[in-house]
C-alpha cells in the first residue's frame, strides 16, 4: 500500500492488489498514510503463491476489469481531498474495581491479554520521575498509525505493564531504536513473519535495574526483564497501532511478543560487550534492538572450541538466513577466548562455515529473502549439491554472553536486515537524581523460601 501511495504522489494513477485476508491491514495502511480512499483490489490468490495455475485462476477477466475500473474511474471528492483524522489526546476518568478496570481496558483493545496495572494519575506521575524530559515531549512517531510517542504515553504503558520508574530511560531509548530506519521495524511489526522486538541491555544500569543475565533470563520471574519487554509491546500496540490480525499480520504469532528483554553478562564475559562493539563506551548504558521470530536452544556437541562452533554451524536453519544473535554461556565464551577466538572471529567462522547444499536453500526454490542478495537461477551452471552459505555476511551475527551453568547454546534468529546490518543500539539518558531513584527500589527483589 505504501508503494501505491508513493506512485500516486508522483501524479500517476495506481491501484494496490492484496490478498483478501488482508482487507483490514490494507485499509489501515492507507489510512495511516492519509489516503483512506486509496483504490485497491482484493485477490483470492494464496499468499506467496508459486503455483502458476492458482495465480492465473485468481487473475481472471473479472479481476482485470476491476483493476481497469480502479485506474480509470473519476475520483470522488473524498478521494481527491482525503480527510485525515487528527489525533486528539483524551483522558478518560474511570472508577471501579481492579477487575472492572481490566475488563474496561480489554474491551477497548488496550491490553495484551494479561491483567494490567491501572495507569492512575499518581502512578503515571511516579513513572515520570524516571526521566527529565517533559511529559508532552514527543520521542518519536511510531508506525503504522504514526502515533505520537510522548513521554507521558510511554509512562502510561509502562505503568500498565507493571514497570518501575527506573525503567523509563531504557524504555525511551528502546522507543527511539524502534524508529531507526536501518532496523526496519515498520516492515517487521506489520509482517506475516511474527517478528518480536528483542532488547539486549548493556552498561552499569543492568545491576541497578536487577536485570537477569543468568539462568532463566528469558523465563518468567524477573520483574525488570518481564515488565520492560511487556511495556514495549504495549507501546507498539497502543501508540503505534499494531493490532493483531489488523496491522500485525503474523501468521503464527510469537510468544516472544509478550516480553523479550535480556542483559549481557559483562562481568563474566571475556570479550567486549555488545554496546562497545556497536560503537559506544563501556560505561555507557545502552539497549540494542533487533527482531527475531525464532529461538533455538541446542546442547553443545562438546566443550572444546571446535565442538562449540560446529554446534552452531551445523544447526543454523537455512530458511532463516537473517540476523542471528548467538547466545553463549560464560563457560563456553571463556573456552573460545582461551583458544584465541573473539566475537568477530566467531561471527566470521559461522558466516563462512554455516552452509547447506544449494537445493536446501530457500532461494533455490524462488523464495524471496529480500536483502540477502543471493539469486540462484535454476540452470545447469548451478549444481543442486553445491555448497552455499546461509549467512551472506558476518555482520548478520552478534555474539552475546548470557545464560546460566549448563551446556546449551542459544540462537535467536530474526529479520533479514537492510544495508550493512539491522542492529540498532541507543544510549540511555539517566535523569538527575538517578541514584536516589535507584535507592528507592533497590530492595524490590524476590526472596525465595529455602527447602
pLDDT value for 264: 98
Mean pLDDT, to the nearest integer, of 283-311? 96
Mean pLDDT, to the nearest integer, of 243-258? 91
Are residues 209 and 242 in contact, defined by beta-carbon separation less than 8 angstroms? no
pLDDT value for 50: 77
Mean pLDDT, to the nearest integer, of 422-439? 96
Evaluate the omega torsion of the peptide bond into residue 243 and state whether it is cis, within 30 degrees of 0: no
pLDDT value for 420: 55
Higher-scoring residue by pLDDT: 451, 320 = 451
> What is the share, in percent, of the chain residues with pLDDT greater than 70?
92
- Of 6-10, 103-107, 344-348, 446-450, the one with minimum mean pLDDT is 6-10
Q: Dump pLDDT digits (tens) for 325-338.
A: 999 999 999 999 99
pLDDT value for 208: 96
Instruction: Give the C-alpha separation, 324 to 338, whole Å.
Output: 23
Are residues 358 and 364 in contact, defined by beta-carbon separation less than 8 angstroms? yes
Please choose, from the candidates 440, 275, 396, 405, the residue with its C-alpha nearest in 3D space to the C-alpha of residue 330: 405
CA angle 425, 126, 223 (to 5 degrees): 55
Does residue 177 surpass a pLDDT of 50? Answer: yes
Does residue 370 surpass a pLDDT of 60? Answer: no
Does residue 140 surpass a pLDDT of 50? Answer: yes
pLDDT band at 9 (very low <50, low <70, confident <90, very high): confident
Does residue 320 surpass a pLDDT of 90? Answer: no
Are residues 150 and 137 in contact, defined by beta-carbon separation less than 8 angstroms? yes
- Of 84-98, 276-290, 299-313, the one with minimum mean pLDDT is 84-98
Does residue 80 surpass a pLDDT of 80? Answer: no
Please choose, from the candidates 32, 40, 34, the residue with its C-alpha nearest in 3D space to the C-alpha of residue 144: 32
pLDDT value for 149: 96
Handedness of CA 91, 231, 430, 142 (dihedral sign): negative
Grid-cell match 562438546, residue found: 302
Mean pLDDT, to the nearest integer, of 212-218? 96
- In the DSSP assignment, the letter for residue 126 is H
Higher-scoring residue by pLDDT: 128, 17 = 128
Mean pLDDT, to the nearest integer, of 297-326? 93
Beta pairing class for 40-43 and 16-19: parallel
Residues 6+ apart with CB under 8 A from 260: 196, 197, 198, 199, 218, 229, 292
Are residues 154 and 235 in contact, defined by beta-carbon separation less than 8 angstroms? yes
CA angle 313, 315, 320 (to 5 degrees): 95
Does residue 172 surpass a pLDDT of 80? Answer: yes
Does residue 146 surpass a pLDDT of 90? Answer: no
pLDDT band at 369 (very low <50, low <70, confident <90, very high): very low
- Determine the 3-state secondary structure of 229 from DSSP: helix
Grid-cell match 544449494, residue found: 358
Higher-scoring residue by pLDDT: 92, 205 = 205
Instruction: Give the C-alpha separation, 37 to 144, whole Å.
Output: 17
pLDDT band at 46 (very low <50, low <70, confident <90, very high): confident
Q: Cα(first)–Cα(last) distance of the chain, in Å?
A: 59
Q: Dump pLDDT digits (tens) for 69-79.
A: 888 888 887 77
Q: Which residues pair with 297 in a beta bridge?
A: 410
**Residue 429: Cβ-neighbour burial (10 angstroms; 0-12, 13-18, 19+):** middle
Handedness of CA 316, 421, 184, 168 (dihedral sign): positive
pLDDT band at 28 (very low <50, low <70, confident <90, very high): confident
Is-above-0.75 flag for pTM? yes
Does residue 372 surpass a pLDDT of 60? Answer: no
The helix-helix angle for 151-160 and 223-238 (nearest 10°) equals 130
Does residue 83 surpass a pLDDT of 80? Answer: no
Instruction: Give the C-alpha separation, 193 to 221, whole Å.
Output: 28
> What is the share, in percent, of the chain residues with pLDDT greater than 90?
60
Instruction: Give the C-alpha separation, 199 to 209, whole Å.
Output: 14
pLDDT value for 88: 67
Instruction: Give the C-alpha separation, 144 to 195, whole Å.
Output: 15
Amino acid at each position: 500500500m505504501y508503494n501505491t501511495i508513493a506512485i500516486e504522489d508522483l501524479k500517476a494513477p495506481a491501484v494496490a492488489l492484496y490478498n483478501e485476508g488482508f482487507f483490514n491491514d490494507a485499509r489501515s495502511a492507507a489510512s495511516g498514510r492519509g489516503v483512506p480512499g486509496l483504490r485497491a483490489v482484493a485477490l483470492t490468490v494464496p499468499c506467496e503463491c508459486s503455483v502458476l495455475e492458482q495465480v492465473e485462476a485468481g487473475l481472471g477477466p473479472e479481476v482485470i476489469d476491476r483493476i481497469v475500473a480502479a485506474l480509470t474511474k473519476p475520483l470522488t471528492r473524498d478521494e481527491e481531498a482525503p480527510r485525515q483524522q487528527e489525533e486528539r489526546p483524551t483522558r478518560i476518568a474511570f472508577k471501579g474495581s481492579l477487575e472492572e478496570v481490566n475488563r474496561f481496558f480489554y474491551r477497548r483493545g488496550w491490553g495484551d491479554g494479561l491483567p494490567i496495572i491501572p495507569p492512575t494519575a499518581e502512578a503515571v506521575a511516579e513513572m515520570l520521575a524516571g526521566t527529565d524530559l517533559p511529559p508532552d515531549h514527543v520521542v518519536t512517531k511510531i508506525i503504522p498509525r504514526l502515533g505520537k510517542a510522548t513521554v507521558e504515553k510511554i509512562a502510561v504503558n509502562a505503568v500498565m505493564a507493571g514497570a518501575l520508574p527506573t525503567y523509563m530511560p531504557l524504555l525511551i531509548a528502546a522507543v527511539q531504536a524502534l524508529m531507526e530506519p536501518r532496523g526496519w521495524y515498520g516492515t517487521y511489526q506489520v509482517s506475516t513473519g511474527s517478528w518480536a522486538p528483542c532488547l539486549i541491555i548493556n552498561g552499569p544500569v543492568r545491576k541497578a535495574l536487577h536485570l537477569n543475565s543468568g539462568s532463566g533470563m528469558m523465563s518468567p520471574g524477573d520483574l525488570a526483564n518481564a515488565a520492560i519487554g511487556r511495556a514495549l509491546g504495549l507501546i507498539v500496540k497502543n501508540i503505534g497501532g499494531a493490532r493483531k490480525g489488523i496491522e500485525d499480520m503474523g501468521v503464527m504469532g510469537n510468544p516472544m511478543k509478550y516480553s523479550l528483554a535480556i542483559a549481557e553478562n559483562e562481568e563474566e564475559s571475556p570479550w567486549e560487550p555488545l554496546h562497545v562493539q556497536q560503537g559506544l563506551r563501556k560505561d555507557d548504558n545502552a539497549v540494542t534492538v533487533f527482531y527475531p521470530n525464532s529461538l533455538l536452544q541446542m546442547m553443545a556437541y562438546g566443550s572444546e572450541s571446535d565442538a562449540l562452533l560446529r554446534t552452531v554451524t551445523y544447526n543454523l536453519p537455512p530458511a532463516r538466513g537473517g540476523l542471528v544473535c548467538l547466545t553463549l554461556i560464560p563457560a563456553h565464551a571463556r573456552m573460545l577466548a582461551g583458544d584465541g577466538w573473539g566475537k568477530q572471529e566467531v561471527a566470521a567462522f559461522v558466516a563462512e562455515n554455516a552452509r547447506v547444499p544449494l537445493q536446501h536453500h530457500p532461494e533455490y526454490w524462488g523464495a524471496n529473502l529480500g536483502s540477502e542478495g543471493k539469486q540462484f537461477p535454476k540452470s545447469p551452471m548451478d549444481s543442486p549439491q553445491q555448497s552455499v552459505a546461509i549467512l551472506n555476511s558476518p555482520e548478520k551475527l552478534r555474539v552475546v554472553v548470557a545464560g546460566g551453568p549448563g551446556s546449551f547454546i542459544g540462537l535467536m534468529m530474526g529479520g533479514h536486515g537492510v544495508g550493512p546490518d539491522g542492529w540498532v543500539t541507543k544510549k540511555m539518558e539517566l535523569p538527575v537524581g538517578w541514584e536516589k531513584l535507584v535507592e528507592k527500589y533497590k530492595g524490590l527483589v524476590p526472596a525465595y523460601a529455602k527447602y
